[in-house]
Amino acid sequence: MKIVYGDLVGGASGDMFVAALLDLGLPLAALKSELKKIPGLKYRLEAGSKKLGAIRAMRFRVVTAKKEPERSWTEIRRIIQQSALESETKQRAIDIFARLADAEGKVHGVSPERIHFHEVGATDSIVDIVSAAIGAYHLHIDAFHFSRIPLGRGVTRSRHGPLPLPAPATLELLKGLPVEWTDLPAETVTPTGAAIIASLGKTFGAAPQMTVEQIGYGAGEKEFPDRPNVLRLILGREEAASEHDDMLVIETNIDDMSPEFYDYLFERLFAAGARDVFLTAVQMKKNRPGTLLTVLAEPALREKIAEIVFSETSTVGLRYHPVQRDVLKREVVRVKTKYGNVKVKVVEQPDGRRRAAPEYEDVKRIAALKKVPLKAVYDEALKDFTS
């Protein structure tokens, strides 16, 4: 499985992320060719090396006219949907912008559909976000993982006037993700950067076990006194799980919480690195029906998982115990079908035989996009994998 670990040394912005992808191996010519598939945008790209102390990094910039009309979320979505980009790239870019629209809507107290973007609706932000989606597709990256997110403090200016740092939309986008506060009096993470990493990131925190193959550095504009202002992307192969894994089961009984809250709880637990989360119906004392919450995680994550469960549920106590598990070797491959590319999880059996299962979210997305039955896409992916 091809993965990337994003080391947010100096923070994250759209141009830093794209620059790191270019340094990682995304050809500039290929990026320009794909971007031409978006109608109606006027800009030029600048890319080159930049020295940050002893580090050579890539710098990326989208140059546009000084004044641009603001764009609505509806208009931006239409621009992307009407482009000739790959369907997977379109959907990834739309997902990132949807997060932005939702965050901006909450900050301004309006529905996402009524949002008119200013800074993040400009051509450079659209190009940054679509370029991030293009890079992920072109480099065949199956999953992104990121470090903790460093946040600076202070005040920045916007069309709405002075704003505290981190910007309100940035902080809204990072809800549920692990951050670390720094003494830097600057914006370390932009709303565009936050939207990209929040949308693409599978886990946040410690680096996954991996074999390093390629490293890319994306340079930021500002200079920081205590660190190089770079975003480092580390590309490699996720190491196959060992035959035996030492894990921790963390569980609690709950009988006085709204079931609606479990969805957000699951999102936070998986973002924190939980391997599995599930609910079981139980009968508790005084014959009350309740719910058993079970979380499977690495032992090092015990305190982080406990903190999330205590803050997001009504429980007053947890119990945990170590377990071991056997894990089969598995990988995710892309299968080309007549409906589009579908991710397929391939598992190797102990006897060497392989079995496959198309990824549900991919199948669901393509079925909705092509307006065909979900089972038709699922069966087609299996057929093309075995043929």
Residue 237's DSSP bridge partners are 2, 211
Confidence at residue 206, expressed as pLDDT on a 0 to 100 scale: 85
Same domain, 142 and 290: no
Same domain, 358 and 294: no
CA geometry: angle at 296 spanning 92 and 259, to 5°? 70
Decide which of 238, 259, 288 is a domain's last residue.
Answer: 238
Mean pLDDT over the full length of the chain: 89
Q: Which domain holds residue 152?
A: 2-238
Confidence at residue 117, expressed as pLDDT on a 0 to 100 scale: 65
Confidence at residue 49, expressed as pLDDT on a 0 to 100 scale: 93
Backbone angles phi, psi at 5, to 5 degrees: -105, 120
Same domain, 83 and 100: yes
Same domain, 274 and 218: no
Confidence at residue 162, expressed as pLDDT on a 0 to 100 scale: 84
Tens of pLDDT, residue by residue over 213-250, are 999 999 999 989 889 999 999 999 887 544 567 899 99
**Total number of domains in the chain:** 3
Same domain, 229 and 252: no
Spatial separation of the C-alpha atoms in residues 184 and 230, rounded to whole Å = 14
Same domain, 150 and 85: yes
Residue holding tokens 């004392």? 285
pTM of the model as a whole: 0.67
**Confidence grade of residue 331 (pLDDT, cut at 50, 70, 90):** confident
Residue holding tokens 């403090």? 153
Residues 6+ apart with CB under 8 A from 222: 10, 186, 229
Confidence at residue 39, expressed as pLDDT on a 0 to 100 scale: 87
First to last CA, the chain: 21
Confidence at residue 141, expressed as pLDDT on a 0 to 100 scale: 94
Decide which of 182, 204, 238 is a domain's last residue.
Answer: 238
Confidence at residue 155, expressed as pLDDT on a 0 to 100 scale: 86
Confidence at residue 371, expressed as pLDDT on a 0 to 100 scale: 92
**How far, in whole angstroms, is CA 149 from its chain's centroid?**
13
Confidence at residue 156, expressed as pLDDT on a 0 to 100 scale: 78
Given a cut of 80, whether residue 158 has pLDDT beyond it is: no
Confidence at residue 113, expressed as pLDDT on a 0 to 100 scale: 67
- What is the rounded average pLDDT of the residues 348-361? 82
Side chain identity at residue 218, one-letter code: G
Same domain, 283 and 381: no
- What is the rounded average pLDDT of the residues 148-161? 84
Tens of pLDDT, residue by residue over 95-138, are 999 898 888 878 777 666 666 665 555 788 899 999 999 999 99
Tens of pLDDT, residue by residue over 273-322, are 999 999 999 999 888 899 999 999 999 899 999 999 999 999 999 999 99
Confidence at residue 136, expressed as pLDDT on a 0 to 100 scale: 96
Decide which of 326, 343, 361 is a domain's last residue.
Answer: 326
Tens of pLDDT, residue by residue over 8-27, are 999 999 999 999 999 999 99
Q: What is the CA radius of gyration of the chain?
A: 22
Same domain, 159 and 264: no
Of the listed ranges 79-88, 113-122, 123-132, 342-351, the one predicted with least confidence: 113-122
Of the listed ranges 65-69, 103-107, 374-378, the one predicted with least confidence: 65-69
Of residues 328 and 382, more confidence is placed in: 382
Same domain, 296 and 158: no
